[in-house]
């Protein structure tokens, strides 16, 4: 509300801008960025390098859950935006040796003054047994959506992977969540 008792939406010609004051219940704050995961996602907490982990049960006809993992490596760590987008693209293989880089869809956005970068791709996800390499297991029919959000204390990295239809069921919620993120 403003001083006159009107909500921002009631004020004429005033664009709505979410700020740290609009952090919702159930929000997570990592490295100065607050975001609110959908209530229907299972919150698996933090583990190792993963600052947050979420999953969604497989949609009908698929057998594996989709997952979103959130990483933060410090103010100047984790590599640059492009290096991470390229690494994620490199985790996907396409039929008949097609070029994943050429097939990847890319977009950008701004959330509360923070630049965001998105890459998405369908194919065979080469899942590592360990976070930083190791033997890779092919998961055909997967979708990967990676988001880098450049925050005030360094970038947050959101990585969605899962069977294609399950991942697509999570994708809209993921993008809504990161686009509504605010600086804490």
Q: Could you report the per-residue pLDDT of 113-130, keeping only the tens digit for each? A: 999 999 999 999 999 876
Q: What is the dihedral of CA 43, 181, 162, 67, to 10 degrees?
A: -20
In this prediction, residue 2 has a pLDDT band, given cuts at 50, 70 and 90, of very low
**Domains of the chain by start residue, with CATH:** 22-183 (3.40.1000.10)
Q: What is the pLDDT of residue 14?
A: 28
Q: Could you give the strand order of the β-sheet that contains 182-183, starting from the edge strand earlier in sequence? A: 28-30, 33-35, 182-183
In this prediction, residue 24 has a pLDDT band, given cuts at 50, 70 and 90, of low
Q: Give the model confidence (pLDDT) of 97-116 as tens digits.
A: 899 999 999 999 999 999 99
Q: Give the model confidence (pLDDT) of 57-94 as tens digits.
A: 999 999 999 999 999 998 877 788 999 999 999 999 99
pTM of the model: 0.84
Per DSSP, helices labelled H in the chain are 81-90, 100-103, 164-179
Q: What is the mean pLDDT of residues 30-38?
A: 96
Residue 139 pLDDT > 60? yes
> Residue 107 phi/psi, 5° resolution?
-155, 165
Q: What is the mean pLDDT of residues 31-56?
A: 95
């Amino acid at each position: 509300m403003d001083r006159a008792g009107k909500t921002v939406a009631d004020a004429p010609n005033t664009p709505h801008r979410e700020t740290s004051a609009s952090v919702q219940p159930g929000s997570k704050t990592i490295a100065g960025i607050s975001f609110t995961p959908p209530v229907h996602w299972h919150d698996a907490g933090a583990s190792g390098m993963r600052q947050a982990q979420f999953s969604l049960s497989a949609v009908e006809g698929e057998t594996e859950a989709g997952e979103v993992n959130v990483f933060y490596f410090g103010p100047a760590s984790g590599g640059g935006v492009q290096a991470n987008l390229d690494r994620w693209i490199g985790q996907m293989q396409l039929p008949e040796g097609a070029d994943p880089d050429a097939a990847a869809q890319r977009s950008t956005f701004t959330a509360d003054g923070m630049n965001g970068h998105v890459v998405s791709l369908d194919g065979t996800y080469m899942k590592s047994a360990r976070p930083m390499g190791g033997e890779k297991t092919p998961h055909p029919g997967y979708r990967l959506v990676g988001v880098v959000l450049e925050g005030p204390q360094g970038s947050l990295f959101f990585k969605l992977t899962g069977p294609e239809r399950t991942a697509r069921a999570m994708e809209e919620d993921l993008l809504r969540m990161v686009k509504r993120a605010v600086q804490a």
